Amino acid sequence: MTATVRYADVEAGTELPGASFPVTRATLVRYAGASGDFNPIHWNERFARQVGLPDVIAHGMFTMAEAVRVVTDWAGDPGAVVEYGVRFTKPVVVPDDDTGALIEVTAKVGAKLDDEARTVRVDLTARSAGEKVLGLSRAVVRLA
Amino acid sequence: MALDQSFVGRSYPPTEPYEVGREKIREFAVAIGDTHLAYTDPEAAKALGHPDVIAPPTFVFALSFEAAQTVVQDPALGLDYSRVVHGDQKFAYTRPVRAGDRLTVTSTIDSIASRAGNEMIDIRGEVHDASGEHVVTVVTKLVARRVEEGAA
């Protein structure tokens, strides 16, 4: 585990570089294949509407995977993540066009947890189309 | 119908080992658009102190969710899967998953709760490697949405 950010260099409130992640229908098909989650709400508009959704929605686990990239890119080593949790609050709706949807992620250090283990809690926010799509989104990261 | 509270604490037998392959990790990393070299380049992973390429943090969900199917499809539990949505998801890592791992998942029902007609179940998957060492704990909260009044 070789995080490149030093524990001594961060404090509660330190902002991480944010990022935006585009999602199209093609993204979802690819993610379905890689993850093995073939639930039709993620690729079949007719089915999605039948079960009361506005349109095809992204896999929650896709959104969760994208959000933590802000943390792993910052830390330098993805293996430095020791805990990660989210609540799925709203779906990311992905229209059938060339643009799709955008997941916008911001993050900041919420607290320094343990001086010896050099762990910090990072609080994440993820929004799409103005809605908060993840709640209670937190990662614990071991820094250098 | 409320879920049977006596299922809280129930564990299911460990799954057959899943062998984590470099190319499966690469496929997953490409699917999430993540170009971090620790996922695809063994030398880059070694430079970070890992014996082989590691998997992105959420990769292991596919294994734990597959294991959880035994739980959610247990007819004795009586979960109506057509009403189920993914509520919360948590991971607690002892170390990252990496290529060459042979992982088993042992699922346990941690809690069953009911709120405003919605039923919530927490399924914990303990993931171990071939030597029996703990790799990651995966906790999945599933929510079976309330049946609307007047609905069949």
pLDDT of B146: 81
Three-state helix/strand/coil letters over chain B: CCCCHHHCCCECCCCCCEECCHHHHHHHHHHCCCCCHHHCCHHHHHHCCCCCCECCCCCCHHHHHHHHHHHHCCCCCCCCHHHEEEEEEEEEECCCCECCCEEEEEEEEEEEEEECCEEEEEEEEEEECCCCCEEEEEEEEEEECCCCCCCC
The percentage of residues in chain B with a pLDDT greater than 70, rounded to a whole number, is 96
A55 touches chain B (CB under 8 A): no
Percentage of chain A exceeding pLDDT 70: 99
Please say whether the beta carbons of B101 and B52 come within 8 A. no
In a domain, B119, yes or no: yes
pLDDT surpasses 90 at A42: yes
Q: Average of pLDDT values for A48-54?
A: 92
Which tops the pLDDT comparison, B127 or B4? B127
Tokens of A135: 């709640």
Supply the pLDDT for residue B80: 84
- Domain assignment of residue B78, yes or no: yes
Q: Is the pLDDT of residue B147 over 80?
A: no
Reply yes or no on whether the pLDDT at B31 is more than 50.
yes
Q: Other CB atoms closer than 10 Å to residue A49's CB: what's the count?
A: 13
Q: Does a structural domain hold residue B152? A: no
* Amino acid identity, position A49: R
Mean pLDDT, range B80-107, rounded to an integer? 95
Give the pLDDT confidence score for residue B1 in this predicted structure: 59
- Residue A72 tokens read as 């792993």
The DSSP call for residue A80 is G
The span from the CA of A64 to the CA of A71, in Å, is: 12
Fold of A7-23+59-142: Thiol Ester Dehydrase; Chain A (3.10.129)
Burial class (CB in 10 A: 0-12, 13-18, 19+), B63: buried
Quick check: B152 pLDDT over 50? no
Q: What pLDDT score was predicted for residue B145?
A: 84
- Token look-up 């998957």 returns B125
**Look-up of token digits 């057509």:** B82
- pLDDT recorded at residue A117: 97
Sheet strands side by side (includes A131-142): A15-23, A101-114, A119-128, A131-142, A81-88, B84-93, B134-144, B118-128, B102-115, B18-19
Residue A11: the pLDDT is 97
Q: What is the mean predicted confidence (pLDDT) over A12-27? A: 98
Domain that holds residue B101: 9-20+57-144
Roughly how many angstroms between the first and final C-alpha of chain A, as a whole number? 9
Residue A129's pLDDT is what? 96
Gap from A37 CA to chain B (nearest CA, Å)? 8
* H or E stretch covering A27: helix A25-35
How many domains does chain B fold into?
A: 1
d(CA B78, CA B69): 13
With an 8 Å Cβ cutoff, is A15 touching chain B?
no
Q: Do A64 and B28 touch (CB under 8 A)?
A: no
Contacts of B66 in chain A (CB under 8 A): 36
Region A27-35 average pLDDT: 98
Q: Is the pLDDT of residue B150 over 60?
A: no
List Cα–Cα distances, B82 to A41, A130, B35, in angstroms. 12, 29, 36
Q: Is B62 within 8 Å of A73 when comparing Cβ atoms?
A: no
Query: What value does the mean pLDDT of chain B take?
Result: 93
Token pair of A30, please? 């690819």
Instruction: List, for residues B50-81, the tens digit of each pLDDT value.
Output: 999 999 999 999 999 999 998 988 888 988 88
Residue B96: closest CA among chain A residues belongs to which residue? Answer: A79
Which of B54, B61, B96 is nearest residue A61 as measured by Cβ atoms?
Answer: B61
Please check whether residue B47 is in contact with residue A76, taking contact to mean a CB–CB distance below 8 angstroms.
no
Cα(A61)–Cα(A58) distance, integer angstroms:
8
Q: How many CB atoms lie within 10 A of CB B25?
A: 23
At A63 the pLDDT is: 98
Residue B115 has pLDDT above 70, yes or no: yes
Listed in order, strand segments (DSSP E) in A24-99 are 81-88
Q: What is the mean pLDDT of residues B93-107?
A: 98
User: Chain B residues with CB inside 8 Å of A100's CB?
Assistant: none
* Nearest in space to B97 (alpha carbons), one of B125, B48, B59, B67: B59
State the pLDDT at residue A64.
98
> Which CATH number fits the domain that encloses residue B110?
3.10.129.10
Indicate if the pLDDT at residue B29 is higher than 80: yes
Distance from the Cα of residue B73 to its chain's centroid: 15
Lowest mean pLDDT among A77-81, B40-44, B70-74, B102-106: B70-74
CB B126 within 8 A of CB B14: no
